[in-house]
Chain A
Amino acid sequence: MRLPTGSAYLRTRLSVALLTVGLIGPIGPLDIPLFATPKAPTAQGVAKLVYASSPFGVAVTQDGRARYDVHVTASGLPKPSTVGAYSAYVAWEVTPDLSTWVRLGAVTNGTSIVGSTEMNKFLFVITAEPSATPDKHSGPTILHGTSPSGWLQSFLTHPLFRGVY
């Protein structure tokens, strides 16, 4: 695949960005902006976390972790076969230490509800795969992002806690 360069590349990025905003609206507080990799630089998207159905309005597990349905809106995804011997794009939730990958579901251009997450902090990764239901990930990363809780930072050494203002 030949990558767009220069002004053509910028025009492509801009049009995809506008398309994405048009499709999904502005990025919200429970949204995961997704970033493209060189494998498919035209791809863009956002994963939106929406509380799973619950009689209480707020869905949580017995130990208190939030349960969200993940709504993915993507655009600019090329045909999987153009990035290799693949037939589908698949979304995964991944622990921050990359030790655990949980398959959520298949992603296409447009909006898909790919499943539910119960992780406090996670990476959200979309890979190209030989099938829509692989047991484990094997293909290249196409889009990736971090759960909003990934913004939670340690203040252990922050000047605020050392009395510096």
Chain B
Amino acid sequence: MRGIASVLLASALCVHAVSAHGQTTATPPKTDTTMHMDMPGMEGMSMKMPIPMPAGMPMMPGLVGLAPNVAPFLPGAGVDPMTLPAVKPSSVARLRSGDTLDLTATLVRRTVRGHAFAMYGYNGEVPGPLIRVPQNATIIVRFHNRIDLPSTVHWHGVRLDNKYDGVPDITQEAVPVGGDFVYRVHFPDAGVYWYHPHVREDIEQPMGLFGNMIVDSPDSDYYSPANEEHALMLDDILVNADSLIPFGKEAPDFALMGRVGNVLLVNGEPHYTLAAKNGDVVRFFVTNVASSRTYNLSFGGAPIKVIASGQGRFEHEEMVPSVVLAPAERYVVDVRFDKPGQYAMVNSVQAINHYEGVFEHEVDTLGTISVASAAAKPDLGRQFTALKTNTAVSREIDRYRKYFEKAPDKKLTLTVETNALPLATVQFMSIDTAYFAPVEWVDGMPDMNWLSTGKEVRWILRDDATGKENMNIDWHVKQGSVIKLRIFNDPKSFHPMQHPIHLHGQRMLVIARDGVPTKNLVWKDTAIIPVGSTVDLLIDASNPGAWLLHCHIAEHMGSGMMAVLHVDP
């Protein structure tokens, strides 16, 4: 498995060394600020640039002048962005079973804060085409890789045939630059899903390779009625005044907590707008495609009802103050705009100012919903207020309740090991982790984070029973079995942080957190594990194949945090 791990970690760009013990070897961060400028178009690009720091917070003196121990990489080296086609907004591809879609990853021109950059898109769009299909449809997707990195397409959350799961060296070879691959995607479950690469996600995803899939149930009453439906893909991007912050060429940078952008985007744009009528119930299919950021989304005080996760409906609908989404999570929410006016869609979190030792309320406005005085037709106020109980969901889950109290079949501990980080980082972390937030909502120390790469940081899934880690974990379970997996996020590690754990190709229930049973169950493929928490997952291992289990913080996975669950027929 070591070979697979090394390939997954590295991709064709990387020369990331993995020792016999799975430990990465590294040298201390470089102080040579010119670094490796050996690729065409990289001339003048430097890893030494002022990382945007939180307001009022200085870069730690011991870190000034250092740069990550990786060469810089940006898409389209040597290409004038103005020669590239301007990115287009997402189109909708309504497909029937048997239909074929051509999906081409290409370079596109995107403009951020007035500056044009070469980035990526599917079919020239960011997000890529929204694929809308009926439940149980099977479509053919002809993928064409026309970017400057190898790539694949992973159909996140879909319980599809294993060979089309898009994981390099587990289900397929990475599609080389200029190469093609044909996927056959079957959609057994209604819900909202997304597709993205599984090669260097830390680069390809934030640069624009992501798109939604909505699978419609044949039951017209599957969801309560809504006046409108819209997909929201939440993302962020890290920029300076006039440049993108380069990515690590051989390994991810920002390996400690992942790359947290300073420009927040909805559907690839910095300010989302929507026009609605007074009283409209708007259904949002919300997907967090950011590499690391966890969102706390709300809509200017408008009431929010959560009705489904990505993989299906909750046992019962709930009114919520906001919508919390870890990376890769999706939720379906209905929002009622019951007064005319402007509603700010915001991400509202409590940041930690490590410099002053205080919490700070941080609000980013992601968009505006303009509600006209004209009345919504039909008026769905009564249906919105009623909280539907989905007895069909509960009945189906009833088959699994007998497994809730059994002893865990598998146990994982989440932790991290580091080596050769700057002394100032090590000293600061040893003091600062006297307190850690169960969820880090912002990057409070971007200088330390930037300087950490996959060469110095190894994120770990550790099997409690065997002590094996990451790709050396070799779990086999029988198809049709129900597996109770207990995951503990060790708070005593060097850098405790929440992890959104994603299991490919199956579905699971979060049945308990810290010993407290979940009151409102829902099928999921990704679940957040806060620092210090113990979370029990019940996996319906129904789909045969070799399936990746990993943290969906792109830099954490790129720094080793993944394993394979074999579901044997």
Q: Number of residues in A with C-beta < 8 Å to the partner?
A: 36
Question: Does A160 lie within 8 Å of B424, measured CB to CB?
Answer: yes
A64 to B518: give the CA distance in the assembly, Å.
21
Question: Does A51 lie within 8 Å of B331, measured CB to CB?
Answer: no
Chain B residues, CB < 8 A from A51: 438, 513-514, 530, 533
A154 within 8 A of B: yes
Chain B residues, CB < 8 A from A121: 359
Q: At the interface with chain B, which of A8-16, A54-62, A73-81, A87-95? A: A54-62
B374 within 8 A of A: no
A162 within 8 A of B: yes
A58 to B424: give the CA distance in the assembly, Å.
32
Among B324, B355, B423, contact of A56 (Cβ-Cβ < 8 Å): B324
Chain A residues, CB < 8 A from B435: 148-153
Closest to A155 in B: B355
A53 to B432: give the CA distance in the assembly, Å.
29
Among A28, A30, A61, A155, contact of B357 (Cβ-Cβ < 8 Å): A155
Question: Does B354 lie within 8 Å of A29, measured CB to CB?
Answer: no
Question: Does A29 lie within 8 Å of B532, measured CB to CB?
Answer: yes
Question: Does B516 lie within 8 Å of A50, measured CB to CB?
Answer: yes
Question: Does A60 lie within 8 Å of B357, measured CB to CB?
Answer: no
Interface string of B321-357 (1 = CB under 8 A from A): 1111110000100000000000000001110101111
Chain A residues, CB < 8 A from B427: 160, 165
Question: Does B348 lie within 8 Å of A64, measured CB to CB?
Answer: yes
B505 within 8 A of A: no
A65 to B296: give the CA distance in the assembly, Å.
10
Question: Does B60 lie within 8 Å of A156, measured CB to CB?
Answer: no
Chain B residues, CB < 8 A from A161: 58, 60-61, 355
A152 to B433: give the CA distance in the assembly, Å.
8
Query: Which has the most chain A C-beta neighbours within 10 Å: B356, B357, B437?
Result: B357
A63 within 8 A of B: yes
A39 to B474: give the CA distance in the assembly, Å.
57
A30 to B518: give the CA distance in the assembly, Å.
19
* Count of CB-CB pairs between chains A and B under 8 Å: 137
Question: Does A55 lie within 8 Å of B322, measured CB to CB?
Answer: no
A152 to B331: give the CA distance in the assembly, Å.
33
A156 to B294: give the CA distance in the assembly, Å.
27
Chain B: minimal CB distance from A67 (Å): 9
Question: Does B350 lie within 8 Å of A65, measured CB to CB?
Answer: yes
Among B359, B361, B428, B530, contact of A149 (Cβ-Cβ < 8 Å): B359
Chain A: minimal CB distance from B526 (Å): 10
Given A120-B359, A161-B58, A163-B61, do A60 and B324 touch, yes or no (CB 8 Å)? yes
Among A55, A58, A154, contact of B439 (Cβ-Cβ < 8 Å): A58
Chain A: minimal CB distance from B305 (Å): 10
Q: Number of residues in B with C-beta < 8 Å to the partner?
A: 63
Interface string of A125-165 (1 = CB under 8 A from B): 00000000000000000000000111111111010111101
Closest to A67 in B: B321
Query: Which has the most chain B C-beta neighbours within 10 Å: A55, A57, A162, A165?
Result: A55
Among A62, A66, A155, contact of B298 (Cβ-Cβ < 8 Å): A62
A30 to B437: give the CA distance in the assembly, Å.
9
Chain B residues, CB < 8 A from A53: 516, 518-520
Closest to B304 in A: A62
Closest to A120 in B: B359
A146 to B431: give the CA distance in the assembly, Å.
18
Chain B: minimal CB distance from A97 (Å): 13
Q: In chain B, residues 414-469, which have Cβ atoms closer than 8 Å to a Cβ of chain A?
A: 423-424, 427-428, 431-432, 434-439, 441
Question: Does A50 lie within 8 Å of B350, measured CB to CB?
Answer: no
Question: Does A57 lie within 8 Å of B361, measured CB to CB?
Answer: no
Q: In chain A, residues 25-74, which have Cβ atoms closer than 8 Å to a Cβ of chain B?
A: 28-30, 50-51, 53-58, 60-66, 69
Chain B residues, CB < 8 A from A29: 436, 438, 491-492, 496, 531-532
Question: Does A64 lie within 8 Å of B357, measured CB to CB?
Answer: no
Q: In chain B, residues 345-383, which have Cβ atoms closer than 8 Å to a Cβ of chain A?
A: 348-350, 352, 354-359, 361-363
Chain A: minimal CB distance from B389 (Å): 14
Closest to A119 in B: B359
Residues of A within 8 A of B (CB): 28-30, 50-51, 53-58, 60-66, 69, 120-121, 148-156, 158, 160-163, 165
A-B contact pairs, 8 of them (CB 8 A): A58-B324, A65-B350, A66-B438, A66-B439, A152-B435, A155-B432, A160-B62, A165-B423
Further 11 A-B residue pairs, CB within 8 A, beyond A55-B318, A57-B510, A156-B357: A28-B491, A53-B518, A54-B320, A57-B528, A60-B324, A63-B348, A64-B296, A64-B361, A148-B435, A155-B432, A160-B60
